[in-house]
Amino acid sequence: MKLIVGLGNPGAKYARNRHNIGFMVLDRIAADHGFPAWKSKHQGVVSEGRFGSDRVVLLKPETYMNKSGDSVGAAMRFYKLEPEDIIVLHDEIDLAPGKVRWKVGGGHAGHNGLRSLHAHIGPDYARVRLGVGHPGHKDAVPGYVLRDFPKADEAWLDDVIRGCSDGASHLAIGDGSKFMNAVALRTAPPRSSTSKEKQKKSNASEQESQDKPDTRSPLQKLMDRFS
């Protein structure tokens, strides 16, 4: 069993904030994979479901970001889980917008949600780091993460959220590599072989045209130039 946690702040005021990308991903996973309606539990809201035989609990803490550990710790104790059974999805300012990384363990890097988790359950949980970019100066970070994603970010944001949902079954078994592959198919899809073949043919045609000797007479060249 895995406990998959999305970090964010509760309420409509924060719903589209950069800080709430973890909530956004969990909402998409629940919708795409037929999980039941959210229920209030463990100082948050939960939705329990399965990917095949793998049981998963989705949790969105409603304690506000800086007390996320209160909710996660309560859920972990209730389900008798270890930190290794927990996967946390959170915004990451040290990654460019649209970048996603998988990591197990490590520091909290000043992230208030992770800081709270460290205090309650230690550092040995897995994280899905969802890049939102950096405002350029550390003093600007609080205001930056508590602002909504601009419209210009909607395309990559949708790809990231859907990619994470595509890979959710791999999160259910803790397979970070396969999860990252599923995300990449959305965020950086491979070019089709058909497209590559068309490009090759186009390049070959251009090269052939350049290599073919020009046998036109001077008069014909002049006529072609002004025709």
Q: Give the active site residues.
A: 19
Report the distance separating Cα 91 and Cα 8, nearest Å. Answer: 9
Report the distance separating Cα 101 and Cα 226, nearest Å. Answer: 59
Report the distance separating Cα 186 and Cα 208, nearest Å. Answer: 37
Q: In what order do the strands lie in the sheet with 86-92?
A: 39-41, 44-51, 54-61, 2-6, 86-92, 126-131, 100-104
The residues facing 45 across adjacent strands are 40, 60
Report the distance separating Cα 27 and Cα 97, nearest Å. Answer: 20
Report the distance separating Cα 132 and Cα 134, nearest Å. Answer: 7
The closest of 178, 183, 121 to 156, measured between CA atoms, is 183
